[in-house]
Amino acid sequence: MPAKMFGFIGLGVMGYPMAVNLLKKLEDGGKLHVYDVSNHDLAKFKQEALDLVMVCSGAREVSERSDIIFTMVPEGSHVRSVYFGEGNGVLSAAIDGKVFVDCSTIDTKTSIEVHDAIRNKYPTASFYDAPVSGGSLGAAAGTLTFMLGCKEDDVNILVLKDLLDSMGSSIFPCGGFSLGLTAKLCNNYCSGLIAIATSEAMNIGIKSGMDPSLLSKIFTASTAQSTINDKWNPVPGVCPSAPASKDYRGGFKVQLMKKDFGLAVQTAKRVGARLCLGESGLAVYEQASEDEACRDRDSRVVFRYMGGDEDWKEKLVHQS
């Protein structure tokens, strides 16, 4: 049997290191076909493995030359252009029997439209939503969590798990189509609210004269415990390796949280799930994304956005 040909579209912060890890899965004779609208990223990626990488002219060519194609672009509009783009999109290629895996975090409506369009035109082709969690560090280390929109007994599950294993360490089939995206949006909605709640609670403590490092330890041993508190604490200096302690550099940009949080709120409306905190949480991320002091920084910058005291250490010293 000839070696499987792979494709990767979207070589950005996440896609680039994921595609580097996917190279390890190529068998003898296999190739990775890549495309990005940025020529700079394409030229750089070609240098990763000159014999194994083939740069293509568009999504159509990647689809024609590959058996399994991954896509990792920012938003629903980009996914639409990759799949529906006139003349150069995936759907303008003959894609019978091919497998597409979209790892982008987008709205479920767009994902379902792409899924249906592929299934209607090419019934033997497959399309999966497979968003990830773990950020650029997880992508580089090959330790991403994949939320796969299919059942445990899906016809392609073994092939998919084998490939995703090169890029991630946890792979969760989520029960059916578009439920991978549902899982991702629910996770980010929840962690976005926890970041706001932790910031507010820490702020109350600091303004009352309490050491936030001590407060964080108490949370860890009590009911306010969370990964946000323990590893990504929004207060500078509480977790030395967290973005908050590095002027909120690195991590998960506040604009991306705004996007995912907004998509979760939209999904809640679509499915009729009542939200008590959705609109106010979204307003926080929208406004923080527009705030010069917060934009492009890790989303836990909400502590700064709400006027949290970043100089708490000096003040504590003066008090004592």
Active site residues: 184
For ligand NAD, the closer of residues 203 and 289 by Cβ is 289
Token pair in block for residue 182:
């549902």
Query: What letter does residue 319 receive in the DSSP assignment?
Result: H
Q: Contact residues for ligand NAD (CB under 6 A)?
A: 9-15, 35-38, 41, 72-74, 78, 81-82, 104-105, 132-133, 135-136, 252, 256
For ligand NAD, the closer of residues 71 and 126 by Cβ is 71
Q: Which residue is nearest to ligand NAD (CB)?
A: 12
Residue 107 near residue 266, CB atoms below 8 Å: yes
Which of 157, 81, 145 lies closest to 113 in space, CA to CA? 81
Residue 34 near residue 16, CB atoms below 8 Å: no
To the nearest whole angstrom, how small is the minimum distance from the Cβ of residue 77 to ligand NAD? 8
For ligand NAD, the closer of residues 137 and 155 by Cβ is 137
Which of 180, 55, 188 lies closest to 127 in space, CA to CA? 180
To the nearest whole angstrom, how small is the minimum distance from the Cβ of residue 194 to ligand NAD? 17
Token pair in block for residue 150:
């299919």
Helices marked H in the chain — which ranges? 15-22, 39-46, 59-65, 76-84, 108-121, 135-141, 157-164, 179-207, 212-220, 227-231, 254-271, 278-290, 302-305, 312-319
For ligand NAD, the closer of residues 34 and 125 by Cβ is 34
Residues in the chain: 320
To the nearest whole angstrom, how small is the minimum distance from the Cβ of residue 139 to ligand NAD? 8
CA atoms of 308 and 238, how far apart (whole Å):
13
For ligand NAD, the closer of residues 14 and 264 by Cβ is 14
Residue 172 three-state SS: strand
Q: Tell the burial category of 149 from Cβ atoms under 10 Å away from its Cβ (0-12, 13-18, 19+).
A: buried
